[in-house]
Amino acid sequence: MKPALTKPALILPLLLLLPVACDRSTPATATPDPTAAASAPQSAPPQAVQAVAAPWALPSGLGLAAQPDLVRAPDGSLLLSWIEAQGDGHALKFARYGKGAWSDARQIARGNDWFVNWADTPHLAVTPDGALWAHWLKKSAKAPYAYDVALVRSGDDGRSWSQPVLVNDDGTPTEHGFVSLWPAGRDRLGIAWLDGRNSGGGRGHGGHEGHGGGAMTLRASLFDASLKREGEREIDTMTCDCCQTDAALGGHGPLLVYRDRSPEEIRDIAITRLQGDAWTPAHPVHADGWKMPACPVNGPAVAAHGDAALAAWYTAAGDVPALKLARSSDAGDSFAAPLTVDQGLPVQGRVDLALDANNAWTLWMREDAGVQSLHLARYSSDLARELQRVEVARLQGRGRATGFAQLALGDDGAYVVWTDIVDGKPRLQGQHYRLAP
């Protein structure tokens, strides 16, 4: 029998998000580790070009909103999605940003039976045929963590959407979520998710209350334009229960990263690649050796550009919270020793990542003396130099309520979106870091 774990409940209705510190919150007396700077690459000389920060106005009419997702479309535009509370239910909406302007916001779906959560959030994807894809989480039973992954597709830029299909078809009242999406061809979508079908019940997160004793698994499948499932695979039979997964298209196929879990409760980051019709054996990005007897709710991020790939993640190995960043030059087959981007008790992680031919960007959260702050660092694409490091924002909210910030690259620099709690209510904020042409 797998060891039973415990951790606090995750679900937070949108309008009742409370500024409660997460499991890894910083004590009020904490200070950054003075050795952190020594672990990072040498900063660039003063003449290095700096990205210029400017507020990024988000779609007009955007009210109480949280759980953002931000992705780049093949045409270079950016797609932002979010969840709004509506009456006794929730709505998933999106808008497109291109040529300096936003489209009108459009509704993807609405329901009063959704699982809405600070960490397990909906995502958007665009396939080369221009179709939009989106998912959300739908309750499957009364148990707190019994929910499925619903998937829809739009062929007309979001003006209309297909009927939803369930990504997982096991029919068990268990947890299914922490989804990653990627284009798997001109009109096909790849999707990976954490699957609790072996956990034995949805009354505890991932079966942590011992209802069956099975482990959380990682599965993946493909869907075609008619939402027909094909090629479903179980990739890993034992993973961390509630850490985000992430995917990126590398030079040799889709890369998928996630927080693994061993019987000894080592929870390091693993990576696998879809090669043809099969996933390569998963292997650690780096052997941190973090022994953690509960889920930290803090998944990795991955980005790729040709054969170059980056992975970023949070770890507290050796009881030192840290944000790590590692590079692969062989499409994810192996990674160099990681950089320590930041470390010390204030580091919360919640990382995102972006990469192009010249720059690598990483985004993360800190909480020091009860104040959360969002930070962005820019490196040369080979990670040889740190080019810039900025504090994006100091937040009014704290703890779980601020969720996971999002990062995407436009043609003129990086764009960041995050959730803050303003007057006790969730609102999205944006920032643009413009690079000179």
**pLDDT tens by residue, 267-296:** 999 999 999 999 999 999 999 999 999 999
**What is the overall mean pLDDT for the chain?**
89
Strands 132-139 and 147-154 come out as: antiparallel
Q: In terms of Cα–Cα distance, which of 185, 177, 146 is closest to 277?
A: 185
Residues 6+ apart with CB under 8 A from 299: 178, 240, 243, 244, 245, 246, 257, 258, 259, 313
pLDDT at 87 over 80: yes
C-alpha span between 231 and 113 (Å, rounded): 29
How sure is the predictor about 63, in pLDDT bands with cuts at 50, 70 and 90?
confident
pLDDT recorded at residue 210: 35
Q: Which sign, positive or negative, has the C-alpha torsion 332, 338, 341, 346?
A: positive
List, for residues 202-212, the tens digit of each pLDDT value. 444 433 333 34
pLDDT recorded at residue 201: 60
CA distances to 118, 123, 279, 362, 389 from 321, in Å? 21, 28, 31, 17, 19
Residues in the chain: 437
What does the domain layout of the chain look like in residue ranges? 16-434
Q: In terms of Cα–Cα distance, which of 62, 92, 72, 226 is closest to 158?
A: 92
pLDDT recorded at residue 239: 98
Span 16-434: which CATH code? 2.120.10.10
